[in-house]
Chain A
Amino acid sequence: MELSLKLLVEAGASGPLVFTDQPLSFWGGYDAHSGEVIDRRHPLSGQRLAGKVLVFPGSRGSSSGSGVLLEAIRNRTAPAGILTLEPDHILCLAALLAQELYARTVPVGLITPAFFEWAASHTGESASLTPDGRLEIF
């Protein structure tokens, strides 16, 4: 599977795909020390997302979410890449700030509903994303 997508924050990434159809608040929902999803009401609760390519609708909840993602990028516990259905300004900002502060970041991209549906049954497969938005899954 290969496709081209729009990256809001450009960077490369590779890692296993992880899918959820539920939004996630990074503040209160993501542990920047371990990379674990700690929202106990979330289907990904208990999973570690460090190094994975996360496909989900987008974040929600507290605006402190960007601080958590920025800290996770600093600690190298962030997802390797983040692909959302809607432009997510909380996560994009964290990725842009990481670029300013640490000269490295994670890509944040926009996906289509068709790809979102496809991804639902392809969790765990290897994803590779280039900084110009070419995504390959195998």
Chain B
Amino acid sequence: MLAGENGPAVQTAMRIVVKMGGLFGAPRLIPVTRAHIDSGIYEGQSGLDFVEMLLAKGGKVAVPTSMNVVSLDLENWQQNSRVPLSFATPARRLAEMYLKMGVKPTFTCAPYQLKENTPRFGEQIAWAESNAVAFVNSVVGARTNKYGDFFDICLALIGRVPAYGLHLAENRRGQLLLRLKDVSPALLRQDAFYQILGYLVGRLAGNNIPVIAGMPPGVSEDQLKALSAGAASSGSVTLFHAVGVTPEAPDLETAFGGNTPLETIEIDMPGLRQARQELSANPGGGDRPDVIALGSPHFSLAEGIQLANLVENRKVAPGIEFFVATNRAVYHALIERGLLEKLLAFGANVTQDTCVVVSPLIKPDAQLLMTNSAKYAYYAPGKLNMPVVFGTLAECVDSAVAGRLLRDDALWN
């Protein structure tokens, strides 16, 4: 491949992969069965420059490859007057160039919730997107490192990864013990708990693989999604073990695999309360959330159904924008079930392929963002330059209807 017998695109990709593999001491490359690409977010000219170069050299992916969110709702972007043509044109061009290289038009940050796209336990894969990497390593037990923009497409072009990090069993053992202590059973059932827990786990874990003990049975896929996304946002968690819940942690001993925990940290109600507070960076104390954003990571069908039930016969208050981000598969499933209609009647703006952090969907004079996502809440102050308040899904809906913040602190006491 390095000599160019598979074409110039593979040669360039191989050169980059070999250099990177060398930097990290990988002795060899190993084959992967699939890839997930996160390089389609339009951040500027350099992203276009790179893909253009690969495409001009005849680049085609070597393994089934899914695509993360892009910077545009590719089907419906023209319905939003805030997306200027000067942004839409390069953003669409970037997405199209990936499709020309054979990438599937999945356009989602929750690729593990697409049926045909979920790897099996132990499968070696090359995924990008921090929340997807955390989920697929931890909850599915497939093996990937967190691959950065552009490296992901290089790996997809050659169908191989350097053998290092989380591809190797010996690097997947737990290092740090986080023990849930006296968390109220009512809170343990709440989706919002897993968002906050994720944020806290990310803060506590540093570069270590955390083992979480004390999780209740019956944790849902969407709750594990929230936990993965929170931990990957506030920290660099690419793998966690939840004892009795995730596949590499049937019990504490297996989760640590002979490692002695570096430290044991208790996660208790005061810690959770403080984390919830930290995720509400609202120094002005505004009480009118004029933008409500859901769906980071992308809404699943189950979350769509939950939301449709909550909004029945209700309406978003005037002047408030209510965004729901999801992927094409869920969007079409919502249409088939007649649920999209209900969300639209409520006043929701349901987008596909993208989300409010990577596409300019939010009104420029917005004052306060409310969200049920720890990932949105973490990134909003910097990425959107907006104060933010974290709430449960029901609190977000209630606040949208009332036109003012409604949050129930009782759950967290």
Q: Which residues of A contact B (CB under 8 A)?
A: 8, 23, 28-29, 32, 38-41, 58, 60-68, 70-71, 73-75, 86-87, 89-90, 92-94, 96-98, 100-101
Contact A41 to B16, CB < 8 A, known contacts A62-B233, A74-B45, A92-B23: no
In the complex, how many residues of chain B place their beta carbon closer than 8 angstroms to a beta carbon of chain A?
A: 45
A sample of 20 inter-chain contacts (CB < 8 A) reads A28-B378, A41-B278, A41-B281, A58-B207, A60-B235, A62-B129, A63-B149, A64-B38, A64-B41, A64-B149, A67-B43, A67-B47, A71-B45, A90-B148, A93-B151, A96-B16, A96-B19, A101-B46, A101-B49, A101-B53
Is B232 in contact with chain A by the CB < 8 A criterion?
Answer: yes
With most chain A CB atoms within 10 A of its CB, the pick from B15, B41, B46, B47 is B46
Contact A32 to B379, CB < 8 A, known contacts A61-B130, A63-B133, A92-B20: no
Q: Which residues of B contact A (CB under 8 A)?
A: 12, 15-16, 19-20, 23-24, 38-39, 41, 43-47, 49-50, 53, 128-130, 133, 145-152, 207, 232-236, 278, 281, 357, 378-379, 381-383, 385
Complexed CA–CA distance, A73 and B236 (Å): 23
Complexed CA–CA distance, A73 and B278 (Å): 32
Please pick, from B44, B47, B147, the residue contacting A63 in the complex, using a CB distance under 8 A: B147
Number of A-B pairs, beta carbon distance below 8 Å: 117
With most chain B CB atoms within 10 A of its CB, the pick from A32, A86, A96, A97 is A97
Closest chain B residue, CB of each to CB of A40? B381
Note all chain A residues with C-beta closer than 8 A to B39. 67
Note all chain A residues with C-beta closer than 8 A to B133. 63
Contact indicator A39/B43 (Cβ below 8 Å): no
* Closest 3 pairs (CB-CB, A-B): A60-B236, A66-B148, A67-B149
Contact A74 to B44, CB < 8 A, known contacts A63-B148, A100-B16: yes
Note all chain A residues with C-beta closer than 8 A to B357. 28
- Closest beta carbon of chain B to A107's beta carbon, Å: 13
Contact A89 to B148, CB < 8 A, known contacts A41-B281, A61-B130, A75-B44: yes
Complexed CA–CA distance, A71 and B385 (Å): 20
Contact indicator A66/B44 (Cβ below 8 Å): no
Please pick, from B12, B129, B149, B232, the residue contacting A66 in the complex, using a CB distance under 8 A: B149
- Closest beta carbon of chain B to A96's beta carbon, Å: 6
Complexed CA–CA distance, A66 and B147 (Å): 10
